[in-house]
Amino acid sequence: MQTIQGGVCAAKGFKANGVHCGIRKNKTKKDLSLICSAVPASCAAVYTTNLVKGAPLTVTKAHLADGTAQAVICNSGNANTCNANGVEIAEQMSALLADALGIRAEDVVVASTGVIGLPLEIEPIAAGIPALVQGLQDDGSADAAEGIMTTDTIKKEVAVEFTLGGTTCRIGGIAKGSGMIHPNMATMLVFITTDAAISPAMLQKALSGDIANTFNMVSIDGDTSTNDMVTVLANGMAGNETITEEGADFTAFMQALNTVTVQLCRLIASDGEGATKLLECKVTGAADLPTAKTVAKSVICSSLLKAAMFGADANWGRVLCAIGYSGAAVDVDKIDVAFRSAAGTIEVCKNGAGVDFSEETAKTVLLEKEIEILVGLGSGDASATAWGCDLTYDYVKINGDYRT
């Protein structure tokens, strides 16, 4: 498996584009994106667990009932959520795009990200679709990635090449960050494409299995958006034997998918609102997987720890504290904690008690941009990783500014 360029256009038969259609006032910011497959594709999706759900999710869910889709349309600047006419607008977006592409409206994935409770006008979208479709390109992934950005500071694109039964396949994705942003109630949106042939059922199985260990282990600020969605389109154009059951090919596909999703998780977390550092909490030695996950997420979600990491402060007491209130049954006297980065590793807690360490070395380790928080629970073989970022002045600034 190797990393390649091309994002959602890396796989055969996928084109993409992004344009400014006018939902946003800033004309230099693209606000409408499109990803399109040359042929109908298997499609799987996972949605936010928030009871308050964006209208686009309702429409997409209905469209994907048959496990097939061919295009993804997504606007930024407005979440189309908590609006009386939200479903109607999302259906209009789908229908307009389907007409322009000559595909079925039921094969359109529709998504929105932005402010909640502000009616989304169809006019700019309707006016933008012709240019959006006309501009579809083999190398349009970056434009599509830009069109879904909100306060994201970097475009998030990943792709890898791998083989299934000797056939070269590709899988790639774009994402927007999960920070909750001004003036928007933002969202984690991930769109993945692959030319591997896989049945809708197995694609859903792969995605559902994967996100439990990837996107569900990312936290920027603990808030779960109303519009979070991850979709995968698999158009089969690589020509491999279609995956219809578990086995070597399914395992290889899962590995490739995981490589893409982990990298997108890292990009999303490191670009969390106001973030200056990527934090990865790696828990090992847990009695079971739920314990490992619970501990990793509790640590990565602690505002105190996040603020300490911003300050490059090796305040391991906050790690222990977050483990203690996580709800997981752990033996406190067996907990080891270390911090690791490109600058080295520093052990700070052994068997639940502090160890002598050089504050100078600790600072050197923690001043790096990517910090691993290593937690050993000494109670078994289960492990888990969670991703997050530091809590900074800019997070408060971004989210505290006046909406109006």
105 near a copy of itself, rule: CB under 8 A: no
HSE-CB for 301 with a 13 A CA cutoff: 17
Burial of 201 (0-12, 13-18, 19+ CB in 10 A): middle
Q: What is the DSSP letter of 20?
A: -
Which residues in 60-79 contact a copy of itself (CB under 8 A)?
Answer: 79
**CB closer to a copy of itself, 27 vs 403:** 403
Nearer to a copy of itself (CB atom), residue 171 or residue 377? 377
Nearest CB to a copy of itself, comparing residues 53 and 156: 53
Beta bridge partners of 376: 284, 336
Q: Which residues of 110-140 are buried (b: 16+ CB within 10 A; e: fewer)?
A: bbbbbbbebebeeebbeebbeebbeebeeeb
Among 62, 122, 289, 307, binds a copy of itself (CB under 8 A): 307
Region of 128 on the Ramachandran plot (φ > 0 left; ψ -120 to 50 alpha; else beta) = alpha
Residue showing tokens 């809590």 = 391
Q: Does 367 bind a copy of itself (CB under 8 A)?
A: no
Binder among 87, 167, 363, 364 for a copy of itself (CB under 8 A): 363
Among 322, 346, 365, 373, binds a copy of itself (CB under 8 A): 322
Q: Taking CB under 8 A as the criterion, which residues in 178-197 touch a copy of itself?
A: 180, 182, 185
- 255/2 Cα distance (integer angstroms): 12
Positive or negative torsion for Cα 132, 133, 137, 138: positive
Size of the site for a copy of itself (CB under 8 A): 67
Is 175 near a copy of itself (CB under 8 A)?
no
Residue 243, interface with a copy of itself (CB under 8 A)?
Answer: no
Judge whether 214 counts as a catalytic residue: no
The amino acid that residue 40 corresponds to is: P
Q: Which stretch binds a copy of itself (CB under 8 A): 67-75, 160-168, 202-210, 345-353?
A: 345-353
Kindly list the catalytic residues.
Answer: 187
Residues engaged in binding a copy of itself (CB under 8 A): 49-53, 79, 81-84, 115-118, 180, 182, 185, 221-226, 301-304, 307-308, 310-318, 320-325, 329-330, 332, 349, 352-354, 359, 363, 390-393, 395-404
